[in-house]
């Protein structure tokens, strides 16, 4: 069984130096012999880890999931498994986001320390229909199940969940979309890496403090701008159900998602599409947002049927994945600024200038 850090995250106050997150990169940093070898799972987790490590010597970082790659369909390559097997530390999102993780650990032989960045975060319980992504025929098949068959299926799913040490039953895994959660995640990652690399601990502490100061400033900028819009006008429709923490944190009403599931591979039924179009018309939503890592076809269709604007292409949101290097969302800071600016503009609001510390 691999070891795990359950660090009690604390916000790192003060910032002795200005630090911006490094851009997501599709290449691995294999480092040199003797380095602490760190593997980070998702684009956001890798960005947090690089921001915390900075230029600290003796630490190399490998990122598994690449920009604009679906977290839900990711399949580790042989090179990914080799890097994982050689790693000293594994940094994960948690909340069962990395559904492939246990199999990858078993296949790679990883036996290092795992830093689970969801520690200390209040998880939003799932309100998503387990069968939301099914075809109508599949849904009908489940509807015809006897009570005994349904109970047996639920028991099997519960047993599988109990066997998965990373599972949070019914939880929304998109914790990073709330910047205050990102602060907690950065504190957890920093604490774990300080313990794993005492020689680099001072640099990691300073880098984490500077990055935490930027996150605090980002959170304030988002909150200040969103609060200029009357609460009843803060309405949002996005491509899939991935912004629950963001909308809860900033007082936004999440009218619905094109894909009513945490899994971006699910497909909405015709009835679900009709229901969302009706909700858009009833609430006065002015836009539907696609995501950079998802096909915008269904979002385009729904926006067209509802007679509202669709934000896609360069105006898509960066949610499940950060963007490639030099894109508008190649770091967490840039992605959150990009997303919030577009959402504000869809409400007819011109946001205030971005703080200089966040533009570096």
Whether 42 contacts 65, CB under 8 Å: yes
| 4 backbone dihedrals φ, ψ, rounded to 5° | -135, 145
Give this prediction's pTM.
0.81
Sign of CA dihedral 159, 162, 166, 167: positive
Residue 140 has pLDDT above 60, yes or no: no
Residue 137: pLDDT band (50, 70, 90) is very low
Share of the chain above pLDDT 90, in %: 65
pLDDT at 290 exceeding the cut of 50 = yes
Q: Is the pLDDT of residue 311 over 90?
A: yes
Return the pLDDT at 293.
Answer: 78
Domain ranges (residues) in the chain: 3-121+173-215, 229-358
Average pLDDT score over residue span 246-270: 82
Q: In this structure, how many other beta carbons lie within 10 angstroms of the beta carbon of residue 157?
A: 12
Half-sphere exposure at residue 36, Cβ-oriented, CA atoms within 13 angstroms? 23
- Going by the DSSP 8-state scheme, the letter that residue 65 receives in this structure is S
pLDDT band at 31 (very low <50, low <70, confident <90, very high): low
Topology agreement, domain 3-121+173-215 and domain 229-358? yes
Q: Please check the confidence at residue 161 and state whether its pLDDT lies above 80.
A: no
Does the pLDDT at position 16 exceed 80?
no
| Region 276-289 average pLDDT | 94
Mean local confidence (pLDDT), 313-327: 94
Q: Kindly state the average pLDDT of the residues 238-266.
A: 84
CB burial string 48-68: b at 16+ within 10 A, e below: bbbbbbbebeebbbbbbbbbb
Say how many CA atoms lie within 13 Å of 159 toward its Cβ.
Answer: 6
Q: Please tell me what DSSP assigns to residue 124.
A: P
Report which DSSP code applies to 318.
Answer: -
Q: Residue 128: phi, psi to the nearest 5?
A: -90, 135
**Cβ burial, residue 348 (10 Å; 0-12/13-18/19+):** exposed
Nearest to 289 by CA among 333, 360, 245, 345: 345
Q: Give the model confidence (pLDDT) of 81-99 as tens digits.
A: 999 999 999 999 999 999 9
Q: Which CATH class is domain 3-121+173-215?
A: alpha beta
What pLDDT is stored for residue 269 in this prediction? 81
Selection from 294, 292, 306 nearest residue 338 by Cα: 292
Compare 208 and 127 and report the one with higher pLDDT: 208
Q: Does domain 229-358 have CATH number 3.40.50.1980?
A: yes
């Amino acid at each position: 069984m691999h070891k795990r850090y359950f660090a009690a995250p604390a916000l790192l106050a003060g910032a002795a130096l200005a630090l911006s997150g490094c851009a997501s990169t599709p290449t691995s940093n294999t480092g040199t012999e003797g380095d602490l070898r760190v593997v980070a799972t998702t684009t956001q987790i890798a960005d947090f880890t690089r921001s915390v490590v900075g230029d600290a010597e003796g630490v190399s970082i490998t990122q598994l999931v690449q920009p604009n790659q679906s977290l839900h369909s990711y399949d580790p390559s042989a090179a990914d498994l080799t890097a994982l097997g050689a790693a000293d530390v594994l940094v994960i999102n948690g909340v069962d986001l990395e559904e492939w993780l246990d199999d990858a650990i078993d296949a790679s032989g990883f036996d290092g320390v795992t830093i689970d960045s969801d520690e200390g975060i209040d998880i939003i319980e799932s309100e998503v229909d387990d069968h939301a992504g099914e075809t109508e025929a599949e849904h009908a098949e489940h509807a015809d199940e006897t009570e005994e068959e349904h109970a047996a299926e639920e028991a099997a799913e519960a047993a599988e969940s109990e066997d998965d040490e990373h599972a949070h039953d019914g939880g929304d895994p998109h914790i990073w979309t709330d910047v205050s959660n990102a602060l907690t995640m950065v504190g957890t990652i920093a604490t774990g890496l300080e313990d794993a690399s005492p020689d680099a601990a001072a640099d990691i502490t300073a880098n984490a403090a500077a990055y935490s100061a930027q996150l605090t400033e980002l959170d304030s900028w988002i909150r200040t701008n969103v609060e200029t819009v009357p609460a009843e006008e803060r309405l949002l429709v996005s491509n899939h159900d991935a912004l629950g923490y963001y909308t809860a944190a900033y007082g936004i009403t999440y009218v619905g998602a094109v894909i009513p599931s945490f899994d971006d591979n699910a497909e909405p039924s015709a009835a679900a599409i009709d229901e969302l179009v009706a909700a858009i018309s009833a609430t006065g939503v002015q836009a539907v947002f696609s995501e950079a890592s998802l096909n915008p076809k269904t979002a385009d269709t729904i926006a067209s049927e509802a007679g509202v604007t669709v934000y896609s292409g360069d105006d898509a949101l960066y949610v499940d994945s950060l963007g490639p290097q030099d894109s508008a969302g190649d770091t967490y800071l840039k992605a959150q600024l990009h997303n919030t600016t577009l959402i504000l503009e869809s409400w007819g609001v011109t946001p205030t200038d971005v703080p200089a510390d966040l533009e570096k």
